[in-house]
Amino acid sequence: MLTIIENLLNGDEVSRFRDALADADWRDGAGTAGTRSVSVKQNLQLDRGDALARELGNLILNKLGQHPEFVSASLAEKIWPPVFNLYKDGGHYGTHSDAALMRLPEAGLTIRSDLSATLFLSDPESYDGGELIVEEAFGAQAVKLAAGDMVLYPSSSLHQVAPVTRGERICAITWMQSAVADDSARGLLYDLDQSIRALTPGRAKDDPEINRLIHVYHNLLRRWANP
């Protein structure tokens, strides 16, 4: 399931991020690629230990934790610290899949990557190319969002970043382990939760039909959640 989270960051927040990243210490992103991915990865990244990366990453994590749609779509248990990357001058990331297990030694943490996320920080009109292309069951989908919007997609999918032929594409990326590892089950729970939230306004707090739907939601979550 591919899900768009609109306006995770508002316009003022995006501007502050871009101002802060304008003079960042960008480094060759090949250093964080796997043995096969390194041959198809051409971008710049901030080091995970970079103070600015940690500061901005924590702001994103705080936003995610407070965003109802993100919580509903991801059911995230663990989230990898956001990584900031920059594509320009033909920079791209060829077709690849994300590692299933991601180790964070400094935190003694291992994350199973169920979901990947890209938060767009550059205005789409400011650069050409740079689409995130995700291969889904019904074909490839190209994603290029407004600054401040985020896309969630299964980490198991093949995906790529098209070459940036003009301007700069700056994004933050992250991965998460969900309480529900199965993508189809997680998608059904998300759809059910969205329906409950849409039907609830205007109903009594003890509306039996809404309560029944909530009952079904939590029993399905109980059945599908990882032990």
pLDDT of 209: 94
pLDDT of 17: 97
Residue 174 and residue 188 share a domain: no
Residue 162 and residue 105 share a domain: yes
The whole-number mean pLDDT for each consecutive block of 10 residues of the chain, a chain of 227 residues, reads 95 97 90 60 92 96 96 96 96 93 89 97 97 90 97 95 97 97 96 95 91 97 92
The Cα 195–Cα 31 span in angstroms is: 43
156 closest CA partner among 116, 109, 103, 104:
116
Residue 143 and residue 209 share a domain: no
Residue 165 and residue 90 share a domain: yes
CA-based end-to-end distance of the chain? 23
Residue 131 and residue 208 share a domain: no
CATH number for the domain spanning 197: value is 4.10.860
**Structural domain containing residue 198:** 183-224
Residue 38 and residue 87 share a domain: yes
The Cα 96–Cα 161 span in angstroms is: 10
Residue 146 and residue 67 share a domain: yes
Residue 113 and residue 9 share a domain: yes
CATH number for the domain spanning 30: value is 2.60.120.620
Residue 196 and residue 174 share a domain: no
- Provide the domain count of the chain: 2
Q: Please enumerate, by residue number, every residue annotated as part of a binding site.
A: 96, 98, 159, 169
Q: Please enumerate, by residue number, every residue annotated as part of a binding site for Fe cation.
A: 96, 98, 159
Residue 159 and residue 90 share a domain: yes
Q: Please enumerate, by residue number, every residue annotated as part of a binding site for 2-oxoglutarate.
A: 169
